Amino acid sequence: MTDWKKLIADVPDFPKPGIVFKDITPLLADGPGFRKVIDAFSVAFGDSGVTQLAAIESRGFIFGAALAHHLGVGLTLVRKPGKLPRPVYSETYALEYGTDTVQMHSDALTVRDRVIIVDDVLATGGTAAATARLVEQIGAELVGFAFLMELSFLNGRDKLPAGVPIHSLYPLG
């Protein structure tokens, strides 16, 4: 049995000194390891009645697409500004120095949808919280968050809506 956590490579000083980047490409290259991750997500949310996954650019697309296929549900893309060709909803959020924005097609979800937000890492929580607000703007029901890794020392959970299940497969310190 593959221990998929061992397939995530630490890359020191990337993209700048003092940062240890978590490289998921070895995990993605390992079929059995990648399957275990998707299976673990599906166990966590398989009985939630989910109808759509909202996957956050860009690495969230990888996990979101595989999980949507596995669960037989739709996939909604959450992107940076200017990447989606039709009318969008936008949500701006604070960064350490400045702001950023995420967008979703305005017709991507309906009020009947039950949505799980998917991304590779929960860090400060800003992007995931902004995505949750996009789901709320449309009127869909947010039923959970799915993250491969969580940098728990950054307290990103604190920015996410209370009472919504958060499933992180690999909490990091």
Active site residues: 59, 96
Cα 42 to chain center, whole Å?
A: 14
